[in-house]
Amino acid sequence: MAGGKIQKKRHGAAGGAGGGGARLQGGIPFEKSKGQHILKNPALVDSIVAKAGLKPTDTVLEIGPGTGNLTKRLLEAGVKAVVAVELDPRMVLELNRRFQGHPLSSRLKVIQGDVLKCDLPYFDICVANIPYQISSPLTFKLLSHRPIFRCAVIMFQREFAMRLVAQPGDTLYCRLSVNVQLLSRVSHLLKVGRNNFRPPPKVDSSVVRIEPRKPLPPVSFKEWDGLVRICFNRKNKTLGSLFKQKRVLELLEKNYKTMQSLQLTQDADMGEEKMSADDVALLANMVEDLNMETGDEKEDDEMEMDDGDMAGDGAGSFKEKIMGILQQGDFAEKRGSKLSQVDFLYLLSLFNKAGIHFS
């Protein structure tokens, strides 16, 4: 089930399959606060299933099956099994009633629970129309799942979907874009108007295909996200300006001294550490930072450190070290909003080789 913004519960009048009513066939009210917006357009459901590229050997994970419109099409597509995870016990009962005695019911397993909290079973592909309020944590939970699945075809709120596929220089290009694209290939499949749902949400939607990268990039995610976080702190400021901030310099110098005390010099292999599932799973706990702002974050009291501010305490030489790294890669005048995956990887390698780390 897709969902718009979280709203207070409101029990609307019963409606038919083609109307905008807010009740199930059995008279159970939808709860918009849980993102309960059911796909009512059969042609759209068929299109989503067709674009998923299902195989007879596939186990399909469906999240938020609702009344089972998409579930039915998945089963009819001839897959090996469909595992549906549903939070609402009323919907679980509705699913069980709908598929009781169905010739393909033996291929359906319904799990009642919170998809963000439960352990996901093995699956080859995920096809889902999700509650939009769980978009970020669910995306990164899927990307941290092992073994790696083939792809996910998911309905998202339009703006969130556009952030996932945004490219350097796009208005919506942000930390979310960079992190998801590091871990996967993302493509936009379909635009979906709000009237394709019952009841209709307040926003339009899009279907996106996510294909995890195999193998994962040879980089520590803690290092990667630490760098990207700084670069997108004010995404339209130059990196030279961002890395002159007192807070940033103090953090990097503290890390540098810690590494030196542990005898992890520039020849250490931290920069070559491969990303692990646990590394990726850290993202699920960081999603509150991956906000929906289109511009720079709210200004704070951060100040750039001038040479005079650091005289006599060695900080000036460390600042020169940082600026030298940026100039070496021709990054000092560039902005995070314009950098590609290759740019970020190169910049991180320059810092790591100089003994500068972000975690």
Numbered residues of the known binding site for S-adenosyl-L-methionine: 37, 39, 64, 86, 114, 129
Q: Which residue has the tokens 């740019």?
A: 343
> Which pair of structure tokens corresponds to residue 103?
């010739």
Tokens of 310: 């650091």
Contact 2, 130 (CB under 8 A): yes
For residue 298, the 8-state DSSP code is P
CA pair distance 319, 328, nearest whole angstrom = 14
Say how far apart CA 335 and CA 236 lie, in whole Å. 6
Binding site membership: which residues? Answer: 37, 39, 64, 86, 114, 129
Kindly state the DSSP code that residue 19 receives in the 8-state scheme. Answer: S
- The DSSP code for 270 is G
44 residue type, one letter: L
What are the backbone dihedrals phi and psi of residue 158, each rounded to the nearest 5 degrees, phi first?
A: -55, -45
Find the distance separating the first CA and the last CA of the chain, reported in whole Å.
38
How far is CA 234 from each of CA 294, 297, 302, rounded to the nearest angstrom?
Answer: 11, 6, 11
Tokens in use for 149? 């699945």
- Count other C-beta atoms under 10 Å from residue 246's C-beta: 16
Do 152 and 120 contact (CB within 8 A), yes or no? Answer: no
